[in-house]
Amino acid sequence: MSNGPDYGGAHGYGAAPQQNPYGQGQYGQNPYAQPVPPQQPYGAQPYAAAQFETPVQPAGFPGPAPRRNRLVVLLQFLLQWIYAPLWIIGLVIVIAVVILSDYGGSGPGSDGWLKVNRSFIPPRRLRAELTGRPEDWERYVTPVLKRRIAAAEVAHAAGGGEVQVDLSREMSVALAARLYRGLGADGVVRVAERLGWQGASSGTDAERVRLVRRFPAPPAPNAPSPQDPLAAPGTPWGPQSTRFAPLLPVIFLLQIVYIPVYGLLTFWIDRPNPDHWSCWGACWTVGPRAFRAEFTNSPAAWDRHIRRILKRDTTRELGRAADSYGRLVAPDGTFLRRVQLHRATYRGAGAHQALRIAAEQGWTLDPAYTPDPVNSLRLCRPDHR
């Protein structure tokens, strides 16, 4: 195998090492720009994956709700500019009192009282609330829905979504009834279908409409097998540069202060990347377990660190009962256990070395995700109920 960006090897990596399941695709290709046809899972899977199926759409969805009284809507719109700031100030005072008094009692069962936005009418929605016409509601809902769907598809490309038994991943978006009152859930579903999404059951929550889209497993990528020579430093699968060793103790001490500060200042920002915090932590923090490995940058120290983290995660994953996997269990009782190793775990050793160590314990690359060795390794291995 060459140590450049093309990682095709003589020996494929999958359930059957003698095959080459990575014969198609190129590392770095984005299969999520448009949905792709269903692909066969890597090599020989532990069970025959089900055919790709679209989510089952319920028979019908509720129509428009009765229009609210115009006078009430206008009063709410005018008064909200007074009570919303007062509400926020009151919440800040309550939270400060709770923190300072070391309150240990039980709080309310819902966090709804924290979300003043639920009773707030944006100016863009005022016209729809006043007229009650479905076309006005659709003009308001459509851009809201497009933004949420776009965020969900970005999250899917970054590794989000619920994995299905056929290795596809399902993304979902939910809208509260206040956002589509005059259009109805059926109208929201019609708009969503034009964007390639479908309506799905929201269970017992009648105040919400749920939309889903299922994306098939990505094409089999080019990736090194455990039998290939180690990837060269600086390549995506090879060792990454480590930080200046004398700086690590300073980072280790200062992170006690700046991690909470950064979290408090940015908690309100929507992070579509599910691995945002692990990637941020790999750049700006150093964990106690990884300190020795990164400080010495010794291959042996990195190997010990990888094995220790992999053992911890494996033990935790094996502790999960098979029944907790629900519909991810195949008819014959087979299912895939999954773990994820982050960049901070293998930075100085490289993703390829971490892959070789994981292969000793039966872990392989998870075929439900496009490999992203620069940031994390998603691994799976078969188990049976």
Do 210 and 257 have their domain in common?
no
> How confident is the model at residue 59, as a pLDDT?
56
Q: What is the CA radius of gyration of the chain?
A: 25
Confidence of residue 188 (pLDDT cuts 50, 70, 90): very high
> How confident is the model at residue 23, as a pLDDT?
34
Do 185 and 122 have their domain in common?
yes
> With pLDDT > 70 as the criterion, what percentage of the chain qualifies?
79
Domain final position from 215, 233, 263: 215
Do 297 and 256 have their domain in common?
yes
Residue 291 located in a structural domain: yes
pLDDT digits (tens, 9 = 90+) for 116-165: 667 789 999 999 999 999 999 999 999 999 999 999 999 998 899 999 98
Residue 278 located in a structural domain: yes
Q: Does residue 294 carry a pLDDT above 90?
A: yes
SS3 45: coil
Do 85 and 176 have their domain in common?
yes
Contact 177, 197 (CB under 8 A): no
Any idea of the CA torsion for 72, 74, 75, 78, to the nearest 10 degrees?
160
Cα–Cα separations (whole angstroms), residue 235 to 48, 227, 372, 379: 34, 18, 12, 20
Q: DSSP state, 320?
A: S
In the block, which residue shows the tokens 């459509």? 142
Number of domains in the chain: 2
Phi/psi of residue 179, each to 5°? Answer: -85, -15
Do 204 and 252 have their domain in common?
no
Average pLDDT value over all residues in the chain:
82
Do 156 and 272 have their domain in common?
no
Q: Does residue 317 carry a pLDDT above 70?
A: yes
Do 78 and 203 have their domain in common?
yes
Q: How many residues can be counted in the chain?
A: 385
In the block, which residue shows the tokens 């105040």? 207
Residue 261 located in a structural domain: yes
**Packing angle, helices 351-359 and 299-318, rounded to 10:** 50
Q: Residue 149: how many CB atoms within 10 A of its CB?
A: 19
Q: How far apart are CA 225 and CA 241, in angstroms?
A: 22
Residue 44 located in a structural domain: no
Residue 186 located in a structural domain: yes
Longest dimension (CA), the chain: 74
Q: Does residue 18 carry a pLDDT above 50?
A: no
Name the nearest CA neighbour of 274 among 342, 373, 363, 174: 342
What integer is the mean pLDDT of 285-309?
95
Cα–Cα separations (whole angstroms), residue 312 to 38, 305, 340: 34, 11, 11
Do 202 and 298 have their domain in common?
no
> How confident is the model at residue 50, as a pLDDT?
42
Residue 59 located in a structural domain: no
Do 83 and 200 have their domain in common?
yes
Cα–Cα separations (whole angstroms), residue 251 to 179, 210, 287: 45, 43, 10
Q: Does residue 372 carry a pLDDT above 80?
A: yes
> How confident is the model at residue 108, as a pLDDT?
54
> How confident is the model at residue 4, as a pLDDT?
40
Do 86 and 180 have their domain in common?
yes
> How confident is the model at residue 385, as a pLDDT?
86
Q: How far apart are CA 119 and CA 261, in angstroms?
A: 30
Do 91 and 197 have their domain in common?
yes
Phi/psi of residue 173, each to 5°? Answer: -135, 135
> How confident is the model at residue 105, as a pLDDT?
54
126, amino acid identity: L
Confidence of residue 94 (pLDDT cuts 50, 70, 90): confident
Q: DSSP state, 372?
A: B
75, amino acid identity: L
Structural domain containing residue 157: 70-215
In the block, which residue shows the tokens 């699968």? 237
Q: How far apart are CA 48 and CA 116, in angstroms?
A: 49
Residue by residue, DSSP assigns 213-263 as EEEPPPPPPP---TTSPPPPTTSTTSPPPPPPTTHHHHHHHHHHHHHHHHH
pLDDT digits (tens, 9 = 90+) for 27-69: 333 333 334 333 333 333 434 344 445 555 555 788 899 999 9
pLDDT digits (tens, 9 = 90+) for 334-361: 999 999 999 999 999 999 999 999 999 9
Higher-pLDDT residue of 35, 254 = 254
| Burial label, 251 (beta-carbon count in 10 A; 0-12, 13-18, 19+) | middle
Higher-pLDDT residue of 296, 270 = 296
Do 268 and 323 have their domain in common?
yes
Here the tokens at position 143 are 């851009």
Residue 33 located in a structural domain: no
Detail the DSSP E strand segments found in 9-56. none
Half-sphere exposure for 12 (CA within 13 Å, toward CB):
16
Name the nearest CA neighbour of 251 among 286, 295, 282, 296: 286
Residue 150 located in a structural domain: yes
Confidence of residue 97 (pLDDT cuts 50, 70, 90): confident
pTM above 0.85, yes or no: no
> How confident is the model at residue 193, as a pLDDT?
96
